[in-house]
Structure 1
């Protein structure tokens, strides 16, 4: 890597929807799931491309033009949060103002880095955090900050397109639906369909509001200081581990055979591996409880189900737990069954209970309280078509994320670049645990180099 890599902001502007829809002139209301996200970070994910043959100025123009069209479909992302406070009744409400806003952010930056500086090192370099706007911002900051910022960073031989989206506006499904739609519109532009407004999977913007409630929810506070907490991650090592489609297939088959079933999924199998191996790397006392959580999409679990393209937050962090001793003394199938059971038990009734609980006693997620120390949290999903976002530059070389939501034991799952069921895991651990994981024969025997 260069001796002192840097990222220099060249220009900043705002992009508004190309067409102002009538519905965008009204307040846009949030659901209970969205309110719960006000004190966590923006979602920050991006793709690294080889530099295209045409000029960067041409690329930037096309990105801005297609973004303006994409924002017609996703107009709340061009707005700002708006707070309504009643100190007498101790109530704090938030909605989205889509009409009094400069729009979504668009940043152009340059760097003296090369592609090899990003994909070459064993650990993800910290400079990657500079490829994203809203560093360390929490979602409540959307009162004054853009709810979406695109940062395009030009490297010596590459382009990084990084998105920061306010997590109160949507979850990972919503994030990648937007990224894909924007790319789809860009590709349509390339075919000279400049005013292309048709999307294969248009977002469903109408938020889920439980019957008999809303549309505006209130938190029992009179000042944001009562419920907003900033979060600083410890010093972490971050590494991408790749698992080939063949390895994943064999792992799933082996675990299902051991358990005498066919119902344990590829991702549940891999989750069991990472939970056991990280627990072993931490050398926990045998009586110490360790938990494993998975981000689960609730859209299909609702009754009636929400549309697949529902735009907003609709997820739960499923939990299973075991004492470190029993997790390591039992075989991998035992751990996989624990993970599988947590998913199988997450029924529409459980989702309804969670919503009812929030309506009776509204709560806000805080990263330092949501996840126990010495736990493993599986975030994101290998099901999202992340490498389908091409922007006329071909398939991305790799995917990277920003500072947001990183702590010891945070694992993010991405589809492998080769496709076919391959999976990449972005693992964050404190240095001594990462070193121990890299010495774990069971784990490293599965990793593809």
Structure 2
């Protein structure tokens, strides 16, 4: 199997660098909690365009126009030293410095090599994603958005990573949709101006001061040689799989008022199934973290499509014994109540406490060796298959290597309507057990 070779790397700037007005974006506790987290990585797989499409030049020209609208992606992180109290502060400076654009080739790799049966991932897929090991704090010197376009034997892969302090999945996928529309039509004039979140909690002074020790970048790797190897696997939940899971939840809950979403039902099934094979003792605590969109949770609510990072990883905690002895409905209810309990008051309390006790920013995601925690990232609500750059819609979506640890789930819209793909990262020994679990596989499409 051939290698992926980067043949050029350049900076793409907004066509009109004055449009942003040199905007300065202050960062909230919800932003700054991602300071030492890897850039999230995602990618879309496309069929190969016609030779006369002028792929790279069109993508770069349309990216420049898209950055006119989504100008924060073309900015940089600025760090200020506060010598009076030995702290540092950060903000996003929308100075038009630009996004990085890598052009790569993988002429010996075909679409069928990426779309492996049974949801497996070939080792070479990590090379389709740019900027390995970039953390949000690196945005001081590195672009806030990095894109890699890889031309394959019979397809194109557009991989990207972005600084989580400037945007979340809601904003990133909206940007990608705008970029694809501009590339397809050649027009940018019909798009509305960007709406920044402009949301700050009263009683918190900005910029927030962070101890110098917490702001320093952690060592390059926190993996231990004795730690088992993680493997990625996609589990596909068809529309019928999800319907059956929700019916099981409702029969166990016995409440017509409780509205369990597809995401919550699938997450609960994954949580119980993975913990069942984790080897944890029954009295051990286990956690399920779910990324909650706060735009409609705060008061007054923000616009649903306002730009920025408005994600909070809410955590449900129970014991292994409780999780496994109760049914799927109980676990789904825990997740449902967790999401609905994120009120304005609770979020305000979290932010105020965070400012008072800025610590453990460097613990990151790689400290979880026990597989006692599941993190449910991304969302099947993101419209990933409607991003047509002018030569056809995507035929696959994939998460990249950033922030990988055993227990990470990335949920994507499936290519079939109403289905969900769960990209799962697990220790290899847990994955082997999961693949032999008939109770788990009953609700999963394995082909």
- 2:242 is the counterpart of 1:236: no
CA contact (8 A) 1:92 1:223 kept: no
Q: Which residue of 2 aligns with 1:105?
A: 100
Taking a change above 3 Å as real, the CA distance of residues 84 and 440 of structure 1, as seen in their structure-2 partners, is same
| 1:215-294 mapped onto 2 (5 Å cutoff) | 215-221=206-212, 224-225=215-216, 228=218, 230-232=220-222, 235-262=229-256, 263-294=259-290
Aligned length: 436
Flag structure 1 segments of 5+ consecutive residues without an equivalent: none
CA distance in 2, matches of 1:184, 1:214: 39
Q: Which residue of 2 aligns with 1:423?
A: 420
CA distance in 1, matches of 2:345, 2:369: 25
Q: Which residue of 1 aligns with 2:199?
A: 208
Q: Which residue of 2 aligns with 1:403?
A: 401
Taking a change above 3 Å as real, the CA distance of residues 131 and 214 of structure 1, as seen in their structure-2 partners, is farther
Q: Which residue of 2 aligns with 1:63?
A: 59
Deviation at 1:371, TM superposition (A): 5.6
CA distance in 2, matches of 1:369, 1:350: 27
SS of aligned partner of 2:177: helix
CA distance in 2, matches of 1:292, 1:361: 23
Taking a change above 3 Å as real, the CA distance of residues 317 and 256 of structure 1, as seen in their structure-2 partners, is same
RMSD of the TM alignment (CA)? Answer: 2.1
| 1:46-445 mapped onto 2 (5 Å cutoff) | 46-55=43-52, 58-99=54-95, 101=97, 103-111=98-106, 112-120=108-116, 122=118, 123-189=120-186, 193=187, 196-199=188-191, 203-211=194-202, 213-221=204-212, 224-225=215-216, 228=218, 230-232=220-222, 235-262=229-256, 263-363=259-359, 364=361, 366-368=363-365, 373=370, 374-419=372-417, 421-445=418-442
CA contact (8 A) 1:203 1:309 kept: no
**Deviation by residue 1:148-201 (Cα, 9 ceiling, x = unmatched):** 111000111110001111111111112112111211222221xxx3xx23226x
- Alignment match of 1:17 (pick from 14, 18, 27): 14
How high is the TM-score relative to the length of structure 2?
0.92
CA distance in 2, matches of 1:403, 1:135: 8
More displaced, 351-360 or 5-14?
351-360
Deviation at 1:22, TM superposition (A): 4.8
CA contact (8 A) 2:197 2:302 kept: no
Deviation at 1:370, TM superposition (A): 7.8
Flag structure 2 segments of 5+ consecutive residues without an equivalent: none
